[in-house]
Amino acid sequence: MHDEIAQTLTGINVQLAALKAEAMVNVKGLQKKIARTQRMVEKSVDIVHRFARELRPTVLDDLGLIPALHSFVKGFSKQSRVHVRLTVYAAVEQLDNARRTVLYRVAQEALTNVARHARASLVDVSVEKLPHSICMKIRDNGKSFQVNRVLDIKKNKRLGLLGMRERVEMVGGSLRVESAPGKGTTSAPRFHSPTATGFSVYETHHRPTEGCS
């Protein structure tokens, strides 16, 4: 999302520079270029609005984490054509807003990384109750990478992974990331939660939408 915004704003800057040069030699050509720049501005506004909705969707506040995850993975599966299985321990809704938001953002970032890098066909997203803690797992069947190398290098192509770890640690949690050839990658944020009770489970599958034949 950051790259998309940056590319659009860079394009606007290029168009404005061209307009400045054009104004000196060809006044008639300005109208078309101004209209093109206006469309680029409108596109950037739409991107920012979409970015804001994805950072914290209204369904997360109105209905909770489980409906928010369901909505996101459904859209992700449709767009990426990756099959996603979602299984959620219902008492996760007892977590405070900050931690539920972090779980949503981690799932969002992990699935985005899957779409960009993993070449996976299947992702399992689960939220489990463990002794004294709640753990989310995002596990894919795609290609692996060197986790330590990615986390130790500041300038890398997977800044989202560093952001995931920082978000989780800011609210008192921990993030485990494992990746191995033939086994894909698992990202697992965990929060201490000694008081969570209840064992009902929400489960759903989201398969890529097939095209019409």
Tell me the average pLDDT of the chain: 80
Which structure tokens are listed for 16? 């404005």
Contact 74, 125 (CB under 8 A): no
106-146 pLDDT per residue, tens? 999 999 989 988 999 999 999 998 888 899 999 999 999 88
Burial tier of 93 (Cβ tally within 10 Å: 0-12, 13-18, 19+):
middle
72-109 pLDDT per residue, tens? 999 999 999 999 999 998 888 988 989 999 999 999 99
Q: What is the mean pLDDT of residues 10-28?
A: 70
Q: Which helix (H) or strand (E) holds 123?
A: strand 122-130
Q: What's the pLDDT score for residue 210?
A: 47
Q: Which residues of 101-119 are buried (b: 16+ CB within 10 A; e: fewer)?
A: bbbbbbbbbbbebbbebbe
pTM score, whole prediction: 0.69
Which structure tokens are listed for 159? 């800044």
